[in-house]
Structure formats: structure tokens, C-alpha cells
Amino acid sequence: MSNIAEEINKRRTFAIISHPDAGKTTLTEKFLLYGGAINLAGSVKGKATARHAVSDWMEIEKERGISVTSSVLQFNYGGYCINILDTPGHQDFSEDTYRTLMAADSAVMVIDGAKGVEPQTRKLFKVCGMRGIPIFTFINKMDRDANDTFELLDEIEKELGIATCPVNWPIGCGKSFKGVYDRHKQTVITYSDTEKGTKEGETTVIPISDEAAVEAAVGTERKQVLFDEIELLDGASAEYDIDEIRRGKLTPVFFGSALTNFGVEIFLQYFLQMTTTPLARMSQGSLIDPVDNEFSAFVFKIQANMNKAHRDRIAFMRICSGKYSADMDVKHVQSGKVMRLSRPQQIMADERKILDEAYGGDIIGVFDPGIFSIGDTLCVPKADIKYEGIPTFAPEHFARVRQIDTMKRKQFVKGITQIAQEGAIQIFQEYNTGMEEIIVGVVGVLQFEVLKYRLENEYNVDIKLEPLPYEHIRWIVSSETELDKIVGTSDMKKIKDLKDRPLLLFINEWSVGMTLDRNKGLELSEFGTA
Ligand code: G4P
């Protein structure tokens, strides 16, 4: 095997999703610990340090305690090169999560054992479902009182519509948490509270067949419950089926406690075996194999001003095939231009490392001189590759934006346009007027706050947002239709997007239907294309 094939095949690129507070940060931190990317001393300082080191770029994240941007981490473990894509936990940023998932080959879903499926888990999971990638479940916080295990699995199956296959099974929980039973190896792995988790936490591995030893480790009562549960489980749960897992129809389930570092390495080891090598991706109707093709990548995220010390715009791209090496010429497919990617970086929160090479499966950050858009393809100049675009979500909240100091028009337009290019917001204009009136559309209302904050902090522009009552947006797809002639309902508003395409805003679904009824031949779409 060539060196490139070897490098690509050892890559595992996944996203990690959870409802806030389920333990995503803690679990990520423990993964890094196994990879040796951070040292133990750093880890035991707790979340405050980890949070800031790992994923927080923006002040607003610190203030609100939620992560609104996603970051990328890379580490090596057991011969694998692992890329973790962190996703924003808040539902208002589900579009960002969706784009991040586009760059991942699988997802790890963290669930709090005492809370089960939570609202954001549901929303994020839905987004995962749209991508159809394998999902691995880690049920966390077993050192605390947790819900009944069968009920937890039932909830995942019913609420999320995915079959579950427990790879291990918890023995008790909270104060009486004794460890897990590994169904595959048929062993009991005992738990000892290591006081916030050192790597050396004492565990013993006992074959289930050694009943006396199991009983001595977990107690008579727990042993009996475990044996009953195993029997029940073997009869009731879905069979382990790697094809179903790969198709996103079955989720392997693991139990543990990220905080005390129990079950994390077990999870990591199984996960790395079960998840896929970098997947082939669709380009113009054919699949591009990561190993058989030279360099190609697509942009899944653009972010400006991530760090006050570096006032620049970074395009994040996922390498889909081949090898990237420093200073190679690549073609930006959408513009047809051949260019040299200047100083590609691996970006780990505040830390930036210049890369000499990267391979299929990796994520790189590249300075964007303002030519990249989300969904763009880059490849070696001779290749003919164009990856499928990333759909945009229809905004559900709208507001009129006014700048408070009218003298700062230029900064205002620059700022709001740049933020829109990043895909965090969508901007529209009144139909028949110029840029004076800007209407912003967002998927989640928190994005309004982020917009206001960023304009103030990065562009020095104060704005006022005036909420508008619209909730439904429709692009006009029928070519014959003239916007002037559309007869709508009294609550309908005509606007246009930055490319001058006409759009309609409605307060409710009913008005959408009425407008379609009143205008023969009118075709509307919920999705705008980039
Ligand atoms: P998130 O990224 O999903 O939002 O969750 P995060 O890891 O920040 O964890 C949220 C809280 O849950 C933290 O407590 C963290 O210490 C705790 N936690 C995470 N995993 C476990 C676990 O396995 N067991 C228990 N008992 N707790 C866990 P906090 O009080 O908010 O922060 P801190 O002050 O303890 O750092």
C-alpha cells in the first residue's frame, strides 16, 4: 500500500453532538488525554480550562456558556489518526451543526444517563439523520443516579427512531455503580471512583463465566440483576450488524462516566474499529474514492475574526481525497481559478499550526481572500471534481436591521455582508429599494444576538434589530412568474436576496397555500441554492 493510502486509511473523522451539559466537553477532553494531546495535569483542572482551550473562540460563548462555533481537534491513538469535530450544542446553531456533519464520517452522541433524550439531542439527531451517517451513543454520568437502562434504550429507539445495540451494559449506577459488562468479550470491567479520573483508574477484568469472582466484585444482588438483564438483553435487543450501523439505522450503545474516566477508553477502542475510514463522496453523479484520487476538498465552513490577534477569514475544508502538500497548486472549481493555498493550518482553538501535509479525512483551515463560499470544491488542476453543494436551511425568524450611527454605513455593510457569507445569517433587501433596508433571516434567534455582538465588537457598529412577524420564506422557482404580478395575502411580503432573486415572506403556512391558489403556475421552494 502506498504511503498515501496508509495515511488515509488510518484516519477517523467524526463529529460529537449532545444536549448542553451532557458531557461532550469532558468526553472530548478524555479522548485527548488518551491521545496524549493534553497532559493529565491540564485535564484535572476541569472544564473551565478545557472549555477555553478546546472550543471557545468567541466572548459570547464564554458569557453564555454555550459553544456557538465549532472547532476541530486532531490526535493519534492506537495507530489511528483521529479528527474530532466539535459541534455547537445549541439548537439555534443547527445549521452550523449540519455543515459540520457534512465534513464528518460518523457522529458520537453523548447522552446524560439521568436525563435521557433531551430536546437538543432530538434536534441534533434529526440533523444527523439527514446525513445518514453512523451514530454511536455514549450514555454518560453513570457515576450518578441514572434512568433504568432498558428505558433509556427504549427512549432512544422511540424518540429518535433508531435501533439500539448495547455493546456494554452498566452494572448499577450512582453510588452503587460497579462497572460494565462487555457483551462482546463477555467480561465484567469493574469501576472504581478515581476522583475525577486519572488514566490509571483501577479496573479489573473478570470473565463472566467466573461467577464467584463476578459476585465478589459486584455483590450478590447486583450479580443476579446483571445475569437476569443479560438474559433479557440477549433475547430482546437488536443484533450487532455492522452494515446497519454504517447506514445509520442501528446505533451501538456504550455506558460510562467521562468525568471519572470510566468506559472512555473502552468506547474509543470499539468505536475506532466500528466507524469507517474516510468515505467516498459524490461528485456529479459519481463517487470519488479517497485513496484512488489526487487531492480534492470542499469548504464546509467559513469564519472571520475568530481571534482578535488574527483578523482574517478562514475557510475550513474537509479533504476528501489524496494528499495536500504545502505550496501545491489547486483549482478552485467554482471560479475556475488555479491558486496556491497559502499557509494552510490546522486550527485547534486558539492554537494554529502550519501544516506541511494533510490527507483525505483531515480538516484544514485556509486563509480566504474572499473567494470561497460554503460548499465550494478544490482539487488538483487536472481533475474534474465538483462536490455536491450544502443546502441552506430556511430561516424562520426575521428582523429589520438599522444601524444606529448612520455615518458608519460602510463598516455596517461590510460587516453584515461578511457575516452573511459565513452562512451564520441570511440577508435580504426590500423589494424595489437598495441596501438601505436590510432584513436578516436566521434559523435560531440566538443568531440575532451573535450578529449584534459581532458587529459591535468586530466592526464597531451598533445596530438595532426590529423583529418582523414572518416565519416562512419561499424562493420563487417558476421562471415565468413576475414578482409585481403576484397576488398574495395581506400578510405577505416581497423581498429579494443578495443575488436579486425574488422571495416571499409569510406569517403562516395558510398564507403560503392561499398565494399558491391565487397565482396559477407559481412554484415556490423552501430552499435557496447557493
Ligand atoms: P457539555 O460539553 O456537553 O456541555 O458538558 P460538559 O462536559 O461541560 O459537562 C457538564 C457538566 O457535567 C460538568 O459539570 C461536568 O463536570 C459534568 N460531567 C461530565 N461528565 C460527567 C460524568 O461522567 N459524571 C458526572 N458526575 N459529571 C459529569 P459542571 O459542574 O458544569 O462543571 P465543573 O465545574 O464540574 O467543571
Q: pTM for this structure?
A: 0.83
pLDDT for the residue 299:
93
| Residues written for the chain | 530
pLDDT for the residue 513:
93
Ligand 1 atom 25 nearest Cα = 141
Using alpha carbons, select from 181, 189, 139, 186 the residue that is nearest to residue 164: 139
For a ligand 1 pocket test, name from 259, 262, 265, 267 the mutation site with the most ligand atoms within 8 angstroms of its C-beta: 259
Helix (H, G, I), strand (E, B) or coil at 21: coil
Ligand 1 atom 24 nearest Cα = 141
Which pLDDT band, with edges at 50, 70 and 90, does 87 fall under? confident
Ligand 1 atom 10 nearest Cα = 21
Ligand 1 atom 17 nearest Cα = 23
140 Cα–ligand 1 center, Å: 10
257 Cα–ligand 1 center, Å: 10
Whether 487 shows a pLDDT value over 80: the answer reads yes
31 Cα–ligand 1 center, Å: 15
Higher-confidence residue of 103 and 304: namely: 103
Q: What is the pLDDT of residues 448-476, one digit of tens each?
A: 988 998 899 888 999 999 999 999 999 88
Angle between helices 119-131 and 149-160 (to 10 degrees): 50
481 Cα–ligand 1 center, Å: 54
Q: What is the pLDDT of residues 7-60, one digit of tens each?
A: 999 999 999 988 888 998 889 888 888 876 554 433 333 344 333 333 333 454
CA–CA distance, 436 with 414 (Å, rounded to integer): 13
Q: What is the pLDDT of residues 292-349, one digit of tens each?
A: 999 999 999 887 766 655 567 788 899 999 999 887 899 999 999 999 876 666 555 4
Q: Are 23 and 146 in contact (CB under 8 A)?
A: no
CB atoms within 10 A of CB 79: 7
**What DSSP assignment string belongs to 59-114?**
HHHHHHT---S--EEEEEETTEEEEEEE---SGGGHHHHHHHHHT-SEEEEEEETT
Ligand 1 atom 26 nearest Cα = 141
Whether 493 shows a pLDDT value over 60: the answer reads yes
Ligand 1 atom 36 nearest Cα = 47
What domains are defined for the chain? Answer: 10-180+236-274 (3.40.50.300), 281-379 (2.40.30.10), 391-529 (3.30.70.3280)
Question: Taking all residues of the chain, what is their mean pLDDT, rounded to a whole number?
Answer: 84
Name every residue whose Cβ is closer than 8 Å to that of residue 48 and which is 6 or more positions away in sequence. Answer: none
Sign of the dihedral defined by the CA atoms of residues 389, 390, 391, 392, in that order: negative
pLDDT for the residue 122:
82
The CA distances from residue 194 to 36, 180, 202, 261, 410, in Å, are 19, 16, 8, 8, 57
172 Cα–ligand 1 center, Å: 20
Q: How many CA within 13 A on the CB side of residue 468?
A: 28
pLDDT for the residue 41:
34
Higher-confidence residue of 234 and 331: namely: 331
Amino acid at 337: K
Whether 79 shows a pLDDT value over 90: the answer reads yes
Higher-confidence residue of 141 and 261: namely: 141
pLDDT for the residue 43:
36
> For the chain, what percent of residues have pLDDT higher than 70?
85
Average pLDDT over residues 380-400: 89
141 Cα–ligand 1 center, Å: 8
Ligand 1 atom 21 nearest Cα = 259
Whether 381 shows a pLDDT value over 90: the answer reads yes
Q: Which of 160-174, 250-264, 351-365 has the lowest mean pLDDT?
A: 351-365
342 Cα–ligand 1 center, Å: 39
- Ligand 1: nearest atom to the Cα of 262: 23
Using alpha carbons, select from 6, 32, 25 the residue that is nearest to residue 359: 6
Which pLDDT band, with edges at 50, 70 and 90, does 288 fall under? very high
Average pLDDT over residues 495-500: 82
30 Cα–ligand 1 center, Å: 12
Alpha-carbon torsion angle 255, 256, 262, 264, nearest 10:
70
Higher-confidence residue of 214 and 345: namely: 214
Q: Quote the Cα angle for 297-298-303, to 5°.
A: 125
Higher-confidence residue of 381 and 530: namely: 381
For a ligand 1 pocket test, name from 16, 21, 27, 144 the mutation site with the most ligand atoms within 8 angstroms of its C-beta: 21
pLDDT for the residue 235:
82
Whether 258 shows a pLDDT value over 80: the answer reads yes
Residues flanking ligand 1, CB < 6 Å: 18, 20-26, 46-47, 89, 140-141, 143-144, 257-259
pLDDT for the residue 528:
64
183 Cα–ligand 1 center, Å: 27
Whether 167 shows a pLDDT value over 90: the answer reads yes
Which pLDDT band, with edges at 50, 70 and 90, does 6 fall under? very high
pLDDT for the residue 230:
94
- Ligand 1: nearest atom to the Cα of 140: 23
21 Cα–ligand 1 center, Å: 6
195 Cα–ligand 1 center, Å: 14
Ligand 1 atom 29 nearest Cα = 47
- Ligand 1: nearest atom to the Cα of 19: 3
pLDDT for the residue 468:
94
pLDDT for the residue 309:
59
137 strand-pairing partners: 109, 253
Q: What is the pLDDT of residues 502-521, one digit of tens each?
A: 889 999 999 999 999 999 88
- Ligand 1: nearest atom to the Cα of 66: 4
For a ligand 1 pocket test, name from 19, 33, 47 the mutation site with the most ligand atoms within 8 angstroms of its C-beta: 47
Ligand 1 atom 9 nearest Cα = 23
433 Cα–ligand 1 center, Å: 50
Q: Which of 69-83, 184-198, 285-299, 413-427 has the lowest mean pLDDT?
A: 184-198
pLDDT for the residue 65:
45
Whether 365 shows a pLDDT value over 60: the answer reads yes
CB atoms within 10 A of CB 222: 18
Cα 31 from chain centroid? 17
347 Cα–ligand 1 center, Å: 25
Which pLDDT band, with edges at 50, 70 and 90, does 125 fall under? confident
pLDDT for the residue 351:
54
- Ligand 1: nearest atom to the Cα of 18: 3
Angle between helices 211-218 and 220-236 (to 10 degrees): 120
pLDDT for the residue 184:
93
pLDDT for the residue 357:
85
Alpha-carbon torsion angle 225, 156, 178, 145, nearest 10:
-100
- Ligand 1: nearest atom to the Cα of 144: 26
pLDDT for the residue 443:
84
Using alpha carbons, select from 420, 392, 433, 437 the residue that is nearest to residue 529: 392
Q: What is the pLDDT of residues 137-150, one digit of tens each?
A: 999 999 999 999 99
66 Cα–ligand 1 center, Å: 13
Higher-confidence residue of 112 and 480: namely: 112
Which pLDDT band, with edges at 50, 70 and 90, does 80 fall under? very high
